[in-house]
Amino acid sequence: MSHMARPKVYSDDLRDKLLDAAVEVVADRGVGALSVREVAHLAGTSTTAVYSLLGSKTALTAGVLVRSFESFAAHQEEAVANSAPADVLAGLGAHYVGWALENPRLYELMFGGSLAGIPQSPELQAAATRAMTPLHDGVVAAIAAGFVRRDAETATVMASLWAQVHGLSMLLLSGHFPAEADPATAAMAVVDGWRPPSTRTES
């Protein structure tokens, strides 16, 4: 009587190593350089392990996205923790741009249109939501405290601030931001536009 071979069981630690390797590849050379074979090699395992633990190259890319959003979220949460209440929105903006400049290829993966075709798993949705929660909560708190006009709508303020820091990040990354311009002053102009007149930053 023949016996069927049992499928090999891989550990969660190996899954973490594979994702670490995938993040390293994308951070260094972009998502176009990501391959199952190289990730397996960097993690010291086989391609079979990659497919067994993650399922596909698409799932591997999704794992990189989750890690990227989580790293970005932690950076945003750090901004909130280290800022005075009146300065939270400015702190979030500075940390946003700082993370994008430190992680340009991960940032491009997150916000550059590469999400097309990536399944929106609960894990990915949770990571993306966590990434935007500090801005949402910061705007809500700023409106309640009077640091932002009380008649402002949360979603509109969020969109305005996000558009500003995203555009600033992209201009800086592409080298198109004017050398004679000050990015911090440009960013604060948008924040100040939402403040009541009596609390705006002196120019």
Same structural domain for residues 24 and 92?
no
CB atoms within 10 A of CB 196: 13
Angle in degrees, 0-180, between the axes of helices 36-43 and 12-29, rounded to the nearest 10: 120
Same structural domain for residues 75 and 132?
yes
* pLDDT for position 147: 95
Q: Which CATH number do you get for residue 42?
A: 1.10.10.60
* pLDDT for position 168: 96
Residue 77: is its pLDDT beyond 60? yes
With cut-offs at 50, 70 and 90, classify the pLDDT of residue 16.
Answer: very high
Average pLDDT over every residue of 166-193: 95
CB atoms within 10 A of CB 109: 24
Same structural domain for residues 27 and 92?
no
Residue 203: is its pLDDT beyond 60? no
Residue 96 CB-density burial (10 A; 0-12 exposed, 13-18 middle, 19+ buried): buried
Beta strands (DSSP E) in 65-173 are none
Q: What is the mean pLDDT of the chain?
A: 90
Q: Which CATH number do you get for residue 101?
A: 1.10.357.10
Instruction: Specify the 3-state DSSP secondary structure of 150.
Output: coil
The Cα–Cα gap between 148 and 151 comes to 9
Comparing 203 with 12, the larger pLDDT belongs to 12
Average pLDDT over every residue of 63-92: 95
* pLDDT for position 52: 86
User: Quick check: is 89 in a domain?
Assistant: yes
With cut-offs at 50, 70 and 90, classify the pLDDT of residue 197.
Answer: confident
Same structural domain for residues 21 and 78?
no
Same structural domain for residues 187 and 107?
yes
User: Quick check: is 3 in a domain?
Assistant: no
Domain count, the chain: 2
Rounded (5°) CA angle 97-78-188: 40
CB environment 167-182: b (16+ within 10 A), e (fewer): ebbbeebeeebeeeee
* pLDDT for position 126: 97
User: Quick check: is 116 in a domain?
Assistant: yes
Same structural domain for residues 79 and 169?
yes
User: Quick check: is 134 in a domain?
Assistant: yes
Same structural domain for residues 22 and 71?
no
Residue 18 CB-density burial (10 A; 0-12 exposed, 13-18 middle, 19+ buried): buried
Same structural domain for residues 111 and 181?
yes
DSSP state of 148: S
Domain span including residue 140: 65-199
* pLDDT for position 89: 96
Same structural domain for residues 96 and 37?
no
User: Quick check: is 1 in a domain?
Assistant: no
User: Quick check: is 29 in a domain?
Assistant: yes
The helix (H) or strand (E) run that includes residue 91 is helix 88-102
